[in-house]
A and B are shown apart, each in its own frame.
Chain A
Amino acid sequence: MVSEYNIVITGVGGQGILTAANLLGWAALHAGYKVRVGEVHGMSQRFGSVIAYVRFGEDVYGAMVPEGKADVILAFEPVEALRYINYLKEGGLVIANSNPIPPVQVSMGLATYPSMEEIKKIIEEDFKGKLITLDAEKLALEAGNVITTNVVLIGALTQTPGFPLSAEHVKEVIRLSVPKKAVDVNMKAFELGVKAAKELLGL
């Protein structure tokens, strides 16, 4: 049992971030941990930048991960990983979906979208983290439904060195949570995420 494990999930409202946070929370609860999940509801959800927190362990209280304390940032969109990089602890891991969703301000020419090199440089050099990116959307489509992008990313997350829950356990919780007709595609999405992360992490 770990005393504390912190996950920050980021992305764009509508990408299934709250569902992912809830699934991980239940997985941790079923593993016997004390759990806190922090979410954003209401207007903030509408295609804006979204952050959710999943914390579990023996000593967790607040629903938000403090800055500098996230073991992992799971980003559904690359620039959103960077926006919340101050949460990452030194030596932490960022798992990012590689599909950018340009904000309207970028399309209007009022702001620019940073390059992947810039994003990587800040994460790895300034914040001493490790970044892996995977095309989770593509893998989700390969599994059979783009809606499983979040499950691909959860699969990848379970391969994080030091992740306290077993991949099989998390997978089982997902299997029991999704509608029956969606079980197969979700299980496939999970496995594709596991495989991609193993390759990227050299496991």
Chain B
Amino acid sequence: MAKVTDIVLWDKPGEKVLLLGNHAIARGALEANIAVFAAYPGTPSSELTDTMAAVAEKAGVYMEYSTNEKVAFETALSAAWSGLRAMTAMKHVGLNVAADSFMTVSYMGVEGGFVIMVADDPSMWSSQNEQDTRIFAKFAQVPVLEPSSPHEAKEMTKYAFELSEKFKQMVILRTTTRISHARGDVVLGELPEEIKLGKRKFGKFEKNPERFVDIPAFQRKKHSWVLETIEKMREELAECPFNWIEGKEDAKVGIIAPGLAYSYVKEALTWLGVDDVKVLKLGTPFPVPYRLLEKFFDGLERVLIVEELEPVVEEQVKVWAFDNGIRIPIHGKDYVPRVLEMTTRRAVTAIAKFLGLETPVDFESVDERYKKVSAIVPPRPPSLCPACPHRNTFYAIRKAAGSRAIFPSDIGCYTLGVLPPLKTVDTTIAMGGSIGVAHGLDVALNGVPGEKETNEKKRIIVATIGDSTFFHTGLPALANAIYNRSNVVIVVMDNLVTAMTGDQPNPGTGDTPHGPGKRILIEDVAKALGADFVEVVDPYDIKATYEVMKKAIETEGVSVVVARRVCALHHIGQMRRKGEKWPIYTVNEEKCTGCKICINAYGCPAIYWDAEKKKAKINPLMCWGCGGCAQVCPFGAFEVMKEGE
């Protein structure tokens, strides 16, 4: 089990390795001789970006963590416009941020291959919605490739660059969580000499305003190019190596399985012991190659489309069938759920229903027996880590602002502040949304200076936003709030790393994969934009944080408090690697009165309740030594036990 960053650079063609889908895509990009990679991290796409960051210098690839998906898209695009192979990666909702550029660039096309890896998250394991990127591809009339395994993800990445270059159009490589975060056996291919030597590649930009300037006069001529190109691709993709027909040639029933659904269908057919079906394995859900459909539908009497989320393939197939006078039953979303992720169970159930068979496991009986389990298993949602500085910040905010205050928040670990006991998150929408919502609430509930009338019963509004999110899309919202004379408090929870997605650097840390960048201090930005109150606090000092919050709330106008303390998980990881120790706290049972403030108001996961003794206890394996408990306990019951691990 070698290190992943070594494996993706291994010059061992033919070697079989176990790689995460995202790692496999990174390897695919290297095998394709990529020159520029730019992205903003978003689960489930982040490991691709991190792997590229880790190998960039050695492979001679320029790599950056951009401040958001739109600028990442533009960075990589420009390389592709300069004839280089370039890639960006994002999660599905990241494409919304990049959408403004993306929708227009489809009219302009590219020179070098440009691949946009978009990781969808069906079932929303780490996301706010489960939008289907294949619809976005259709919206922009850009082709989308969808792998069925980690190995195929690698191979498809190479193919995506070739396809993009051949048609001079961007290509989306769409994964879902179970490709991005699934490990599978991957066979390494050849690395190009330039990657092996770490030779940086430079492009050549040929000026061509008619192509690269999107004024209406130029663009009007190009929409038809987009439509013609996608139809040419539809034709070409009938020969795509990731599309094929398998199974019994003269079968009467057929199953179409795009992307990862193919894996579930294969498994379901084995499990059901069914072999008299024809399967269309589809790696290109948009555009569906019609020529392949002609071949597939030949002799079929019934067809089932097993696809995850939206009926993207189903709609294309049905339109094609109607236009071609084919009137056999075509099933899809009437048998396969449209929400949450595909599973083997779902595939088995749909296929069994389609073929009139029993499922091999009586799933309903399993569900019935499981009901009893659901009733007695306590919930265990994710929580802020022990020693997480955000817990202290929330605690101080709540104490200073009171429970009547409104707390708009944002996308990051700190969104977990919504859970009891902290409950200091009242709204979240999307990256950067906290500040916009805070200002909007102030307008709606309080009124702003200069208006003829304002509400006398003012509500306190305290927004929270992470450091990376602040730079991502918080900045325009902050400018807007200051410009429009909001009276809100904005707390930037600066844990000096983009924690939720895996500790990536951002402008607030100043590090880049190529060495030091220029660090941007959040407080300087807030001052420069004209905030009325700016202070930096250390949330490990709860009292001082509380006092600054009080002052910020009392100040008229936009107050910005930067609560700065490194992410505990990141910090503990570094300490472990260095073999350093940290203090561990324990409960002095004589002093603990059993008031439960530490549990009911503070909620550190290392603290639990000893029901027999009616005292708080600390799990020493989970204590990361911040000492927050000692600060919130009114009885001084928390004490340092000994040096830790």
Contacts and interface: CB of A to CB of B under 8 A. Distances in A.
A, B from the same assembly: yes
Interface of A: 12-14, 21-23, 25-26, 29, 34-49, 59-64, 66-69, 79-80, 82-83, 85-86, 101-114, 118, 122, 126-127, 137, 146, 173, 176-177
Number of contact residues on B: which range applies?
35 or more
A122 B1 CA distance: 37
A41 B605 contact: no
Nearest to A59: B270
B603 interface: yes
Interface string B404-425: 0000000001011001110000
Given A46-B383, A83-B373, A41 B18 contact: no
A50 to B, nearest CB: 9
B369 A127 contact: yes
B380 A86 contact: no
Interface SS majority for chain A = mixed
Contact of B125 (A40, A86, A127): A40
Contact of B266 (A41, A61, A80, A146): A61
15 contacts: A22-B183, A35-B183, A39-B20, A40-B181, A42-B125, A43-B43, A43-B413, A46-B569, A49-B380, A62-B264, A79-B380, A104-B599, A106-B609, A126-B373, A173-B1
Contacts of A108: 420-421, 596, 599-600, 603, 609
A36 B24 CA distance: 13
Given A67-B363, A69-B361, A44 B126 contact: yes
B380 A61 contact: no
Contacts of A25: 18, 183
Given A35-B184, A45-B382, A62 B366 contact: no
B383 A26 contact: no
A45 B377 CA distance: 19
B345 interface: yes
The residue in B43, B148, B607 that gathers the most chain A C-beta atoms within 10 A of its C-beta is: B43
Contact of A47 (B377, B383, B415, B599): B383
B496 to A, nearest CB: 17
A155 to B, nearest CB: 17
A37 B18 contact: yes
B348 interface: yes
Nearest to A77: B380
Contacts of A127: 369
B267 A62 contact: yes
Nearest to A15: B621
A43 B416 contact: yes
A22 B182 contact: no
A47 B183 contact: no
Interface string B388-415: 0000000000000000000000000101
A67 B343 CA distance: 10
Contacts of B43: 41-43
A80 B377 CA distance: 8
A49 B17 CA distance: 29
Contacts of B569: 46
A23 B378 contact: no
A38 B267 CA distance: 15
B501 interface: yes
A43 B126 contact: yes
A79 B377 contact: yes
A62 to B, nearest CB: 5
A110 B385 CA distance: 20
A9 to B, nearest CB: 13
